[in-house]
Copies of this chain bind each other. A is one copy, B any other.
């Protein structure tokens, strides 16, 4: 038998810059024009975001002499579908998009995940720029390169790691954001605070107390901190094989209640419940002081997120969703627990009885 080695160990240049500010869309065009990322751009957005911001963002890019087209998909999670992927690919071909074209994902998490996925597989990969318009996407999904679409067998079951060539976070988009969506994003901000930055909890509590959760300076501060926390974890663990899993704090049970509710609970509400459950399990297993668990519940309530599981969700249904979560490895379900605020760890061995009991105690 002959063997020969294909030598492909090399430096991969996947670094990129996150730009954060109020009203930065005008500057994005110049930055992209200077970057040489692509010769032309196609903005991918959804009908809602398109009506609010599509024309303005396209005009801002065109002002920098970029060639820009725009495609809008239907709004909502249903667009994270392989049919939308095919439709986008056909439209891109129709526009003559080639390997020197970049996509601009303008929208929330669905648009970001979908557009990132299309960019990663169109002609074996073209660049994508993330322009998140919701707080949730700004602090979470736009950074880190995770892309995906849903199939019958599971959410995000098909996807890639495809790092963007740049992220532009404009606080200005948040002025039009509905309250429920702001809370969705605040759930992820609270998660970042709990796992990495207890001082950020003070900031959120203060803002909630004085009704300042929409103030530009506050939003810019929490977005910057959340992005810093996320990007530091992504840098250490780009492919989500170890440390980055602590970003799933609240998500193990969160995903299970979200699915068990038939997605009547939003992602933020589900993560809020999941964080309360993880804190309760951490306390029950004698890791987390009671005062820390109470503080987590209190800040979640303060921003208007739920800290209890709706009574109508059957615990058995939640348990079976937990077992089928793709975070499962072999027969072990990973829970991210807390030793104290700012000190999370991966625990693979929470007894099923404790999980079940915690679910029951958190229901009302």
Spell out A's residues near B (CB within 8 Å).
1-21, 24, 27, 39, 82, 85-86, 89-90, 93-94, 98-100, 117, 120-125, 143, 146-148, 151-154, 156-161, 163, 167, 220, 224, 227-228, 231, 234-235, 238-240, 326, 328-330
29 A-B residue pairs with CB within 8 Å: A1-B19, A1-B27, A3-B18, A3-B19, A4-B20, A6-B16, A6-B235, A8-B12, A8-B163, A9-B12, A9-B13, A10-B11, A10-B14, A10-B238, A12-B12, A82-B82, A85-B158, A90-B151, A93-B157, A94-B153, A98-B326, A98-B329, A100-B329, A120-B160, A121-B160, A124-B159, A124-B240, A125-B161, A160-B160
**Chain B nearest Cβ from A39, distance in angstroms:** 8
Nearest opposing residue in chain B for A117, CB measure: B121
Contact (Cβ within 8 A) A12 B15: no
- Known interface pairs A121-B159, A151-B89, A154-B93. Does A2 touch B14 (Cβ–Cβ under 8 Å)? no
Of A8, A82, A157, chain B has the most CB atoms within 10 Å of the CB of: A8
Of B9, B89, B151, the residue contacting A158 (CB under 8 A) is B89
User: Binding site of A, secondary structure by majority: helix, strand, loop or mixed?
Assistant: mixed
Of A147, A151, A157, chain B has the most CB atoms within 10 Å of the CB of: A157
Nearest opposing residue in chain B for A40, CB measure: B330
Nearest opposing residue in chain B for A91, CB measure: B153
Contact (Cβ within 8 A) A8 B19: no
Contact (Cβ within 8 A) A14 B3: no
Nearest opposing residue in chain B for A94, CB measure: B153
Contact (Cβ within 8 A) B98 A328: yes
Nearest opposing residue in chain B for A149, CB measure: B121
A10: chain B residues at CB < 8 Å are: 11-12, 14, 238
Number of copies: 2
A234: chain B residues at CB < 8 Å are: 6, 8
A7: chain B residues at CB < 8 Å are: 15, 235
Of B16, B17, B158, B330, the residue contacting A122 (CB under 8 A) is B158
A163: chain B residues at CB < 8 Å are: 6, 8
A4: chain B residues at CB < 8 Å are: 17-18, 20, 224, 227-228, 231
A161: chain B residues at CB < 8 Å are: 124-125
**Contacts A90-B153, A100-B329 supplied; 20 other A-B pairs, CB < 8 Å:** A2-B19, A4-B227, A5-B15, A6-B143, A6-B167, A6-B235, A9-B13, A10-B238, A11-B11, A12-B12, A82-B86, A86-B151, A93-B153, A93-B157, A94-B153, A98-B330, A99-B329, A122-B157, A124-B147, A124-B239
**Chain B nearest Cβ from A157, distance in angstroms:** 6
Nearest opposing residue in chain B for A231, CB measure: B6
A329: chain B residues at CB < 8 Å are: 98-100
A1: chain B residues at CB < 8 Å are: 19-21, 24, 27
Nearest opposing residue in chain B for A148, CB measure: B124
A18: chain B residues at CB < 8 Å are: 3-6
**Chain B nearest Cβ from A87, distance in angstroms:** 10
Contact (Cβ within 8 A) A6 B15: yes
**Chain B nearest Cβ from A96, distance in angstroms:** 9
- Known interface pairs A8-B235, A11-B11, A146-B124. Does A3 touch B27 (Cβ–Cβ under 8 Å)? no
CA distance A19 to B6 in the complex (A): 11
CA distance A135 to B85 in the complex (A): 33
CA distance A126 to B151 in the complex (A): 17
